[in-house]
């Protein structure tokens, strides 16, 4: 394997926050256009500046203040997908938050969604990247707002909005507080994922599986602290949306070499690789692949198999999957 062939291969990304993918220059530009004061969220190089995960959430939410209209989200979607496509991503699932798209009002949410989908259609035609949406309650906004968010998700569930997946501060409340929202989404035919096992330990991962009945987990890496849980995850086929660069940037692990992704894989867990909030963490899918190659010697055949397994774990419909599997086969031939 050459370094280049692996990093250039066709990729599938399952864990990307749309607002978290906003290039800092894009947010600065919108702030200037709209004369919005978002405070000192950039460093002297123009990158996002934060001290830890909780400060990251504050900066993230400050940046979203400039995203005020469906048209802003249209532009954001194009900017984010352009970066992903440059990294060789052919399919991505993005977390979308009705909290930032019309304050969880279903009518307003539909307008934002329409604008996002229009941008996604353009990106698919000109960049060859397919996008699907996962509606995202924000945990520290509380269970009541999560219910309204789940209703937005249920009302727009279909072949484009394909899932529900809670994000935000894992230390806020308990996952079981959100069971109503997850039941509502499941009944509407949505597939389920939850951030767990990032800032919470194995119990948080267990709760996602037992209380919310998710089939995928955002991060989930701290399951490694309980090997019986790792076995259970492997046996049940629960998929981990692992974001190694995010975990290192936020200080969860000191380096990719010390990250448990390879250990989880070797223990039979279905792993996938994503960027989470790429500009915040100075990462891209290409950089993730290069770092994993360097740390664990994952080769081209491994990455090809990873892309296929990730597509198998995607929430999109069977026809879309079959089309994308063909694209992967052609790209990896
Ligand atoms: N929202 C955006 N990025 C997140 C992360 N890494 N964990 C939880 N919520 C998030
Ligand atoms: Zn995330």
Per-residue pLDDT of 106-137, as tens digits, reads 999 999 999 999 999 999 999 999 999 999 99
Residue among 15, 17, 219, 251 whose CB has most ligand 1 atoms within 8 A, to mutate: 17
Which of 165, 152, 169 is CA-nearest to residue 116? 152
Domain that holds residue 235: 13-21+72-311
Whether ligand 1 lies within 6 angstroms of the CB of 20 is answered as: yes
Report the predicted TM-score, pTM, of the whole model to 2 decimal places.
0.97
pLDDT at 332: 84
How many angstroms separate the CA atoms of 271 and 216, rounded?
A: 10
Residue 67 placed within a domain: no
Q: Are 67 and 73 in contact (CB under 8 A)?
A: yes
Does the Cβ of 167 fall within 6 Å of ligand 1? yes
Answer yes or no: is the C-beta of 139 below 6 A from any ligand 1 atom: no
Give residue 5's pLDDT band: very low, low, confident or very high (50, 70, 90).
low
CATH number at residue 92: 3.20.20.140
Q: Is residue 42 part of a domain?
A: no
57 within domain boundaries: no
Pocket residue to mutate for ligand 1, from 198, 200, 217, 221, most atoms within 8 A of Cβ: 198
Residue 6's pLDDT band (cuts 50, 70, 90):
low
Tell me the H-state helices in 17-105: 24-34, 53-64, 70-86
The verdict on residue 46 lying in a domain is no
With a 6 Å cutoff on the Cβ, whether 99 touches ligand 1 is no
Whether 317 is covered by a domain: the verdict is no
Q: How many Å lie between the centroid of ligand 1 and the Cα of residue 307? A: 23
The ligand minimizing its distance to the Cα of 247 is 1
Q: Give the DSSP H/E element, type plus range, for residue 286.
A: helix 285-296
Share of the chain above pLDDT 90, in %: 96
pLDDT at residue 104 in the model: 98
Q: Of 19, 61, 198, 288, which one is the catalytic site residue?
A: 198
Edge-to-edge, what's the strand order for the sheet holding 130-135? 11-17, 89-96, 130-135, 161-166, 191-196, 216-219, 239-242, 270-273
Instruction: Name the pLDDT band for 140 (thresholds 50, 70, 90).
Output: very high
- Whether 277 is in the pocket of ligand 1, judged by its Cβ within 6 Å, is yes
Q: Which atom of ligand 1 is nearest to the CA of 170?
A: 8
Structural domains of the chain, count: 1
What phi-psi label fits residue 35: left (phi over 0), alpha (psi between -120 and 50 degrees) or beta?
A: left
Confidence of residue 7 (pLDDT cuts 50, 70, 90): confident
Ligand 1 pocket, residue 17 CB under 6 Å: yes
Give 326 Cα–ligand 1 centroid separation in angstroms.
32
Average pLDDT over residues 61-78: 98
Tell me the per-residue pLDDT of 145-186, one tens digit each, with 9 for 90 and over. 999 999 999 999 999 999 999 999 999 999 999 999 999 999
**Residue 27 within any structural domain of the chain:** no
pLDDT in the model for residue 39: 86
The reply to whether ligand 1 has any atom less than 6 angstroms from the CB of 247 is: no
Tell whether 305 is covered by a domain: yes
Best residue among 15, 57, 146 to mutate for probing ligand 1's pocket (most ligand atoms within 8 Å of CB) is 57
pLDDT over 70 (residue 4): no
How far, in Å, from the CA of 94 to the mean position of ligand 2? 10
Residue 267 has pLDDT above 60, yes or no: yes
Residue-wise pLDDT for 268-291, tens only, equals: 999 999 999 999 999 999 999 999
Whether the Cβ atoms of residue 332 and residue 9 lie closer than 8 Å to each other:
yes
Position 333 scores a pLDDT of: 83
Task: Report CA(117)–ligand 2 centroid distance (Å).
Answer: 21
Active site residue 187: no
**Per the domain annotation, does 47 fall within a domain?**
no
Q: What is the pLDDT of residues 39-49, one digit of tens each?
A: 899 999 999 99
């Amino acid at each position: 394997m050459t370094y280049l062939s692996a990093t250039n291969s066709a990729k599938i990304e399952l864990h990307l926050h749309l607002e978290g993918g906003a290039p800092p220059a894009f947010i600065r530009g919108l702030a200037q256009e709209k004369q919005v004061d978002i405070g000192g969220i950039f460093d002297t190089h123009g990158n996002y500046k934060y001290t830890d995960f909780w400060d990251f959430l504050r900066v993230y939410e400050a940046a979203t203040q400039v995203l005020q209209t469906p048209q802003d989200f249209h532009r954001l979607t194009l900017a984010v997908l352009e970066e992903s496509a440059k990294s060789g991503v052919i399919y991505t699932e993005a977390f979308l938050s009705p909290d930032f798209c019309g304050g969880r009002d279903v009518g307003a949410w539909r307008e934002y969604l329409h604008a996002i989908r229009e941008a996604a259609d353009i990106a698919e035609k000109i960049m060859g990247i397919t996008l699907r949406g996962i509606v995202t309650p924000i945990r520290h906004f509380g269970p009541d707002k999560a219910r309204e968010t789940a209703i937005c998700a249920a009302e727009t569930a279909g072949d484009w909005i394909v899932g529900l997946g809670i994000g935000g501060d894992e230390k806020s409340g308990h996952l079981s507080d959100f069971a109503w929202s997850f039941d509502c989404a499941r009944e509407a035919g949505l597939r389920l994922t939850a951030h767990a096992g990032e800032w919470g330990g194995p119990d948080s991962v267990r709760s996602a599986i037992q209380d919310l009945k998710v089939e995928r987990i955002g991060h989930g890496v701290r399951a490694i602290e309980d090997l019986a849980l790792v076995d259970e995850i492997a046996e049940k086929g629960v998929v981990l949306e692992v974001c190694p660069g995010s975990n290192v940037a936020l200080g969860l692990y000191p380096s990719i070499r010390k990250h448990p992704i390879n250990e989880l894989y070797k223990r039979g867990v279905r792993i996938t690789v994503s960027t989470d909030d790429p500009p915040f963490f100075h990462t891209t899918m290409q950089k993730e692949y290069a770092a994993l190659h360097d740390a664990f010697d994952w080769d081209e055949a491994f990455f090809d198999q990873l892309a296929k397994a990730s597509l198998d774990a995607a929430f999109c419909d069977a026809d879309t999957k079959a089309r994308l599997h063909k694209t992967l086969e052609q790209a990896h031939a």
